[in-house]
Structures are given as structure tokens and as C-alpha cells.
Amino acid sequence: MISSGAEEQTKLETSKQEIFAATVAHYLAPIKKYLDNTRVAEVMVNKFDEIYVEMDGKMSKVPEVFPDRDAYAAAVNNILQFTGKSLYDEASLIDARLPDGSRVHVAKEPCSRFGMAMTIRKFSKSMLDIDWLVHIGSLTDQICEYLRIAVNAEANVLVAGGTSSGKTSLLNALSSYIPNTSRIVVIEDSSELQLQQDHVISMETKPPDRYGRGHVGIRELFRSSLRLRPDRIVIGEVRGGEALDMIQAMTSGHGGSMGTLHANNPYDALNRLETMALMSKVELPLYALRSQAASAIDVIVQMTRHMSGARVCSAIAEVLPIGEDGNYHLQDVFRMERMEDETGKHMQLKWTGVRSILAKRLKFEHEEMVTELTAPVFGLEGDGEEPHMEESPDDA
Ligand SMILES: Nc1ncnc2c1ncn2[C@@H]1O[C@H](COP(=O)(O)OP(=O)(O)OP(=O)(O)O)[C@@H](O)[C@H]1O
Ligand SMILES: [Mg+2]
């Protein structure tokens, strides 16, 4: 029987992937056991004889080494070849992928001053789900219910945090609260999110070819996504001029959108968003930009990575309209507090006692989701305080 062109193509792709997997396993033999270990999240090669791994959230140096510089260079080149690149191209910073989807980043001289550095962020087949995040203490049941109601009530949510603080994992878990009736467009630099809904379009940026042509960035994808008629947009990480497009989309019919951003606290998140929006080179008075940003973002979830390797939600703040002073105003709805009980002293994320500003937009179906856990937060029991303006650090 003569197989169709499509079948031939699939066979070719499969055998290419198999060869790739086999050669990578050969060249990466010194670190293969860490790549195969599900407890390892990241493998970092600083030099051929200096390798670190992050296992169970903790970083440590491992005894394995590549035999010499050439063996290390051959291993890196092998990975790159299969993504159509070469170690000997001009680019000093190169992104690639392993056959299982793991992200590889290579920095070579002269950008990396003491030789070539490579990191492999392993692709996790099963992303952490909300129940697991509660189980390991990153979230509480009360916060999950609050977030579920916020997402259903079409609040726009930003997940903020430092490097590797669990932003993407939380975003993925949060996305499970989006109703299956929504048409969702996901935009990412390199695909990590795994949405479970039926109606999802996933977009990924495209790096330039070796001549610097054909680059498609997050901002271009974002603009295109608006023409794909999404109800909600999920953006893996906001890092540039797309911030302005996102702010404008969030305030014009794409409520319930979400994304992550690198920031150390919720105020910092708004300031970074503003700085990135200014990178878009669109002339907009600062007051107008701030007021749009404040009305676009409803909730900021702050993630923090502890020295122990644990990642926890350390605060949840709601964004109030900007004040007459032109500054952002936030109210902490949940905040870390020092607790002492029979298990000893520890920090716990607790409701601060303020009433959520989302209360006024809850419809009947959202109110039905409210249990005694969040009834006070949404003021449905009448014992929460009115939202109050907190001073921004700039005012202090
Ligand atoms: N709540 C959590 N508890 C423990 N480990 C977690 C938690 N969330 C994420 N992780 C692990 O931490 C690592 C980084 O997670 P993730 O990619 O979500 O962080 P990130 O903040 O998005 O990182 P980046 O700054 O690179 O974008 C992954 O290995 C992930 O499995
Ligand atoms: Mg991330």
C-alpha cells in the first residue's frame, strides 16, 4: 500500500525526533540522570566541569562533569543543530529545546565572560494543580475560593514574583478556573502552560532565523490575538511593549484575562507594568496611563520563593482607582502574618479584614460560589470593613 504524503511526513518527523533523542542522550550522558529525574527542575552548566542542579526546590553542585571543553561544546552543538541553529553562528545568546520540550538557553562568549553557560529548564509533563498547591501549603482553601470567584467574575489577574517563584505554575493552576464556555487565547514566549478547556488557541513567539529575519514577538502575537476574537487572554509573561496593548485589551472587553510579571511586591508589579507600557513608544500622559493600568488590573497575586525551596503565595492585593495624587493605591486582601500554635511559630497568609472591591461586581451565579470561607471577604455576612486606601510607598 502506498502511504499518503502526510503519513510520510509524520514518519519522517518521528524518526527525526528519535534520532535527536538518541544523540542528545549520548552527548548529554554526564547530566542524563538529572534530566531523567523528575525531582530535578533545572540543570545549569556553568563550565564543562561545573554543573549545578535544582532538586526539590534546592540548588546544589553535582560531582558529574563533561570530559573536557570539546565534549561540552559538542553536546551543546548537538542540541542546537536540531533546532536549525549552530554553536558556531554569530548569536551569543541562543534558545533551543530538548525533544521532551525542555527549554535550553545558551550564553557563549563574549556575552558570557568565562566560557559557555547553558541552563536546561525541564518540561514538567504535569503542572501543579490548585489542590496540590493547597496540599503543599502554597495556597489556602480560602484563597482558592477567593481566586475562583475572582476569575469567574472576570477580574483581571496578574501573578507577580521573582525568578522561579512559581508564577507560571500558579497561572496555569488559576487558568483552570476559567469557565469552559470562554474562548481563550494563550500567548507565550516558549510554551509551558497546559490549559484544560476545550476552546483554546495557543500562540508561541518565533525567534528570528540566522539572518535576523522573521521574528514574531509577544507584542505582535498579542495584536494578532485580538483579531482572533478571544473572550479571555492568558499571557505567559509580560516583559515589554505588549504591556500597553494588554492594559487596553483588559479594559475593553477582555475581562478575566491573566498573566505573569517579574516583580517583588504588588506595587512594584504596577510600576513595572507602567515602565513596560512606556516602552511601547505610544505617547500617553503618565496620569492617563496610570489610570488605565489601575482600572485594567483588579487583582495581584504575589508569589515568593523561600530559601528552603518552597514557593508560597505571600500576598493578594486589589488595585483601587488611582488617587488624586496620581499614585497607585492598593488594598491587601490577604497578607502574611506571624502565627503561633501547637506546631510552633510560622507565617500564614490571612485575610486582612477588608472587603473585596470585587464584591460589587458579583452576579447571582458568583454569589452561589461563596461559602462561609469567603462570605466575610465579599461582605456577604456584613462583617467586613469597607475597602480602604493604603498609602503607596511613594506617599510614605
Ligand atoms: N508552589 C510551588 N511549590 C513548590 N515548587 C513549585 C511551586 N510552584 C512552582 N514550583 C516549581 O518551581 C519551579 C519554577 O516554577 P515556575 O516556572 O512556575 O516559576 P516562574 O516564577 O514562572 O519562573 P520563571 O521566573 O523562570 O518564569 C518549577 O520547577 C516548578 O515545578
Ligand atoms: Mg515563568
Counting Cβ atoms within 10 Å, is residue 70 exposed (0-12), middle (13-18) or buried (19+)? exposed
Beta bridge partners of 332: 317
The cell numbers describing 214, all together, are 522573521
**How many C-beta neighbours within 10 Å does residue 37 have?**
13
Residue with more model confidence, 4 or 369 = 369
Mutation test of ligand 1: which of 43, 53, 143, 168 has the most ligand atoms closer than 8 Å to its C-beta? 168
Question: 61 or 85: which carries more pLDDT confidence?
Answer: 61
Report pLDDT for 98.
82
Q: How far is CA 368 from CA 113, 145, 164, 175, in A?
A: 58, 12, 35, 20
What tens digit of pLDDT does each residue of 302-315 get? 999 988 888 999 99
What's the chain's length in residues?
396
Q: Is 41 in the pocket of ligand 1 (CB under 6 A)?
A: yes
- CA angle centred on 236, ends 234 and 242, rounded to 5°: 80
- Residue 212: its pLDDT value, please? 77
The most confident of the ranges 113-127, 145-159, 189-203 is: 145-159
**Lowest mean per-residue pLDDT among 49-53, 124-128, 146-150, 391-395:** 391-395
The overall average pLDDT reported for the chain is: 86
Reported as a pLDDT band with limits 50, 70 and 90, residue 52 is: very high
51, 44 Cβ separation under 8 angstroms = yes
Strand order in the sheet with 157-161: 200-204, 184-188, 232-235, 258-262, 157-161, 299-305, 311-320, 329-341, 344-351
Distance 382 CA to ligand 1 centre (A): 37
Residue 131 to residues 135, 138, 143, 147, 351: CA-CA distances in angstroms?
6, 10, 12, 13, 20
The reply to whether ligand 1 has any atom less than 6 angstroms from the CB of 236 is no
Confidence of residue 385 (pLDDT cuts 50, 70, 90): low
CA 301 / ligand 2 centre spacing (Å): 14
pLDDT at 18: 79
Contact criterion met (CB below 8 Å) for 351 and 377: yes
Cα of 129 to ligand 1 centre, how many Å? 12
Cell of 161: 514574583
Span 282-332, pLDDT tens digits: 788 889 999 999 999 999 999 999 888 889 999 999 999 998 888 999 999
CATH hierarchy code of domain 5-121? 3.30.450.90
Output the pLDDT for position 149.
95
**pLDDT tens, position by position, 21-48:** 788 788 889 998 998 888 898 999 999 9
Q: Which triple of cell numbers denotes residue 144?
A: 482558592
Would the CB of 163 count as within 6 Å of ligand 1? yes
CB of 172 sitting under 6 A from ligand 1: no
pTM of the complete model beyond 0.85: no
Percent of the chain with pLDDT over 90: 47
Indicate the helix (H) or strand (E) that contains 30.
Answer: helix 29-36
d(Cα 142, Cα 148) in Å, to the nearest integer? 10
Which value, to the nearest 10 degrees, does the dihedral of the CA atoms of residues 10, 22, 70, 49 take?
A: 120
Residue of 188 and 346 predicted with greater confidence: 188
- The number of the ligand nearest the C-alpha atom of 305 reads 1
pLDDT number for residue 384: 47
More confident residue, 345 or 356: 356
3-state DSSP of 53-98: EEECCEEEEECCCCCCHHHHHHHHHHHHHCCCCCCCCCCCEEEEEC
**C-alpha to C-alpha distance for 246 and 230, rounded to whole angstroms:** 13
Best CATH choice for the domain 130-367 from the list 3.40.50.9100, 3.40.640.10, 3.40.50.2300, 3.40.50.300: 3.40.50.300
Q: Over pLDDT 70: what percentage of the chain? A: 94
Query: Taking the domains of the chain in order of start, what are their residue ranges?
Result: 5-121, 130-367
